[in-house]
Amino acid sequence: MLQAPTEVLGKQETFAYAHPDYIAVLDDLKTAVVIEEEMRWMMVAAQARIEVWKTNQYNARAELKALA
Answer whether residue 19 is part of any domain: yes
Answer whether residue 50 is part of any domain: yes
Q: What residues make up the domain containing 20?
A: 9-67
CA distances from 49 to 26, 53, 60, 67 (A): 35, 6, 16, 27
The structural domain count of the chain equals: 1
CA distances from 18 to 1, 13, 21, 41 (A): 10, 9, 9, 33
Answer whether residue 55 is part of any domain: yes
Statement: residue 65 has pLDDT above 80: yes
* Model pLDDT for residues 1-57, shown as the tens digit of each residue: 667 777 777 888 887 888 899 999 999 999 999 999 999 999 999 999 999 999 999
Amino acid identity of 26?
Answer: L
Answer whether residue 2 is part of any domain: no
pLDDT value of residue 59: 97
Answer whether residue 25 is part of any domain: yes
